[in-house]
Amino acid sequence: MSAAPSQRTGWWRAGLVLLLLLTTPIFAVNSPQDVRLPPLKERAAPAPALFSHWGHGSMHCYSCHPGTFPQAPLGFTHQDMREGRYCGRCHDGRAARAQTSMNCEACHARR
């Protein structure tokens, strides 16, 4: 006797959730903790921004890659962010703190 369609769907979903739970940490372990972003195009006075993957731990890799941030290194400006690209996609004051509400050292750390 086979399972009812709703039971098969439930098992399939449970299997998918289990698969995601088991594989997502593997991808997170393989990503570097901190990534030094290329210098801004505007000027080289501040230190290049330092992005922390662990500081954004509630996000999954595919939340930003490859849509918002391609894997290739690239430089971008504060104007790009104000227009909603790169970090500005989330750091708009609604989804996450706006770049204008942070001090420069929040991103431009000299580590």
pLDDT for 50? 83
Q: What is the pTM of this model?
A: 0.57
Range 4-7, long-range pairs (CB < 8 A, 24+ positions)? none
Residues 1 and 46 reside in one and the same domain: no
> Does 17 reside within a domain?
yes
Show Cβ contacts of residue 53 under 8 Å, excluding neighbours closer than 6 positions. 28, 31, 32, 33, 34, 35
Confidence of residue 20 (pLDDT cuts 50, 70, 90): low
Q: Could you tell me the residue range of the domain that residue 13 belongs to? A: 1-30
Q: Which residue has the higher pLDDT, 27 or 82?
A: 82
Confidence of residue 48 (pLDDT cuts 50, 70, 90): confident
Is a pLDDT exceeding 80 seen at residue 14?
Answer: no
CA dihedral 92, 98, 100, 104 (to 10 degrees): -130
Answer whether residue 21 is part of any domain.
yes
More confident residue, 102 or 47: 102
Provide mean pLDDT across the span 63-92: 86
Q: Do 99 and 68 lie in a common domain? A: yes
